[in-house]
Amino acid sequence: MNIAFSPALRDALTKWLDHLVALDGASAHTIKAYRADTTAFLTFLGQHLGGSTGIGQITGVTQSDMRAFMAHERGRGTGARSLARTLSAVKGFARWLAEREGFEPTAILAARSPKFRRKLPRPLSEEAARNLIRNVGDFAREDWVAARDMAVVTLLYGCGLRISEALGLTGASSPLPEVLRIKGKGDKERLVPVLPAARNAVADYVALCPFSVEDEPAAALFRGVRGGPLNPRLISRAMELTRTGLGLPATATPHAMRHSFATHLLAAGGDLRSIQELLGHASLSTTQGYTAVDTVRLMEIYDRAHPRA
């Protein structure tokens, strides 16, 4: 059953999403998810109340309507984490719309998000991280490709970069400075210190690369074999082959190197606020997940040292 949205409501949704991009710097991925989540709610509302959905229907939403929506989502298999994200989007839109239309969105904002256990990051041990970096180029057919893969993975672990951030570097970044200016999610910028090992790894790659990356400051620093920007799937594939050879778990992914960077830094005495800034987390609560990881690691050590009778 297709539910029509009134032109005013459709226009309001577009303006809200534009607002998220312009003022909050929301990424294209976030906007796509929020559009889908909010549209799902508005579609349900039309089916639930009957007829087309307009701003008037939003202003009259009751707690009973919200409970019915959540029951509907659970009934079609939506998990707690996904439902919590959907409610967050719906509340954000309702709050924005209420400010412009002058209604009270209490029923929507009061809807309780389902509780769910956050997945803890799965970092590697320090030895495993070093071994992975050391061996990630073993399956490459050319020396420069091996140097490239090693340089990328070194940046992930040595600087805590996301794979998109590492592959977003351009020729203007070479040679790497002691401090990199990284543009992360939502186009938020942060400064990241670069260890000598990372600078050396990138320098080795540039020296072997058959493409003159430093002569093209606006082009990608890391290249594929045909000279175009490196596809992140190739790094994932290189890590997959390497972790299999080393006997590491399937969780040893490019993003796990970033998790490992943060976890090992915390274990060495780094404070959460500094780690938050290095990772580019918008919220400290995201970074606090590494505290839980470190606690789990300590408890594993304790259990081995003090086995239960």
**177: preceding bond cis by omega (within 30 degrees):** no
Geometric angle at alpha carbon 188, from 182 and 191, rounded to 5° = 35
Helices (H), ranges, 50-162 = 55-59, 63-75, 80-101, 106-109, 126-135, 143-159
CB count in 10 Å sphere of residue 127: 8
As separate numbers, helices (DSSP H) first and strands (DSSP E) second, the chain gives 15, 2
Let me know: does 38 contact 89? Beta carbons within 8 Å: yes
How far apart are the C-alpha atoms of 202 and 194, rounded to whole Å?
Answer: 11
Let me know: does 227 contact 131? Beta carbons within 8 Å: no
Encoded tokens for 61: 């939403």
- The H-or-E segment that residue 231 falls in is none
Amino acid identity, position 201: A
Encoded tokens for 25: 């710097």
Of 260, 269, 230, 281, whose CA–CA distance to 156 is shortest?
260
Residues annotated catalytic, as ranges:
162, 185, 255, 258, 281, 290
How far apart are the C-alpha atoms of 88 and 277, rounded to whole Å?
Answer: 24
How far apart are the C-alpha atoms of 274 and 63, rounded to whole Å?
Answer: 41
How far apart are the C-alpha atoms of 185 and 96, rounded to whole Å?
Answer: 22
- Strand, helix or coil at 229? strand
